[in-house]
């Protein structure tokens, strides 16, 4: 009321009629309201989102499911068994060493196989295999196929004579059951070579494993 009386007194002192003073006051109030609305719209456009939408977005982000990181594992293994070579009537003692890398369900293995004691006729091979593994960490299985170079050897016990036939390309397979505790484990495998009779064999091995068998993380 004091502001209105002062405004009316100032208008009367300047010779402005009361009606004109009232009209001017209303016009100024309307202009202020229009400016305030435009400022609000500009703030929303420049800010990109209203506070309500930002709050809703934050709520959605906090409830989004975590992203699973694929399990990565790296370990080595050594297994021993008796191989049945197609061209040799007796069984052969075989040792197979492998280095394995898995990312998620995919596994890649490098293997080197040969006799535990190199006497008589035997087969040596080394190759690269790719395949799949199951999802467990402590207990899991794997199956892989690949290609290898295999050669037949002959070592004469007592006479010192030896011979090596030329290597041939063959297909190699491996099916393994794994069980581990922390960084040490055990494995049972059935593997072999599919190829010419002179190098073809199959073998069941039992062995030990050591390495990092992976863990599942989220981010």
Which among 78, 77, 68, 134 is positioned nearest to 106, based on CA atoms?
Answer: 134
Tell whether pTM > 0.75: no
pLDDT in tens, 84-140: 888 888 788 899 999 999 999 999 999 999 887 767 778 899 999 999 999 888 899
**What's the pLDDT at 97?**
96
Of 117 and 19, the one with more pLDDT: 117
**What's the pLDDT at 147?**
97
**What's the pLDDT at 86?**
86
**What's the pLDDT at 45?**
47
Whole-number Å distance between alpha carbons of 145 and 147: 7
**What's the pLDDT at 62?**
57
- Three-class DSSP category at 13: helix
Q: Quick one: tokens of 89? A: 């009537």
- Whether residue 104 contacts residue 81, with contact meaning beta carbons closer than 8 Å, is answered with no
What φ, ψ does residue 197 adopt, rounded to 5°?
-60, -35
**What's the pLDDT at 218?**
41
pLDDT in tens, 20-67: 655 555 565 555 565 555 555 555 544 554 555 545 555 555 566 776
**What's the pLDDT at 46?**
46
126-130, 141-145, 195-199: the lowest-pLDDT one: 195-199
**What's the pLDDT at 69?**
76
- Whether residue 55 contacts residue 63, with contact meaning beta carbons closer than 8 Å, is answered with no
pLDDT in tens, 152-184: 887 777 776 677 889 999 999 999 999 998 899
Residue 154 CB burial class (10 angstroms; 0-12, 13-18, ≥19): middle
Whole-number Å distance between alpha carbons of 150 and 196: 10
């Amino acid at each position: 009321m004091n502001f209105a009386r002062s405004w009316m007194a100032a208008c009367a002192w300047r010779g402005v009629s009361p009606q004109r003073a009232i009209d001017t006051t209303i016009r100024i109030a309307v202009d202020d309201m229009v400016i305030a609305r435009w400022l609000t719209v500009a703030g929303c456009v420049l800010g990109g989102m209203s506070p309500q939408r930002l709050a809703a977005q934050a709520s959605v982000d906090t409830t989004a499911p975590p992203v699973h990181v694929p399990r990565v594992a790296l370990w080595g293994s050594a297994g021993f068994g008796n191989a049945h070579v197609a061209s040799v009537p007796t069984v052969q003692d075989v040792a197979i060493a492998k280095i394995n890398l898995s990312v998620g369900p995919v596994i890649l293995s490098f293997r080197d196989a040969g006799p535990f004691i190199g006497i008589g006729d035997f087969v040596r091979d080394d190759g690269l295999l790719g395949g799949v593994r199951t999802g467990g960490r402590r207990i899991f299985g794997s199956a892989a196929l690949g290609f290898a170079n295999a050669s037949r050897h002959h070592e004469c016990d007592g006479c010192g004579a030896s011979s090596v036939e030329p290597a041939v390309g063959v297909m190699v397979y491996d099916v393994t059951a794994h069980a581990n505790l922390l960084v040490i484990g055990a494995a049972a495998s059935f593997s072999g070579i599919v190829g010419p009779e002179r190098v073809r064999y199959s073998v069941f091995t039992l062995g030990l494993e050591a390495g990092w068998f992976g863990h599942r993380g989220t981010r």
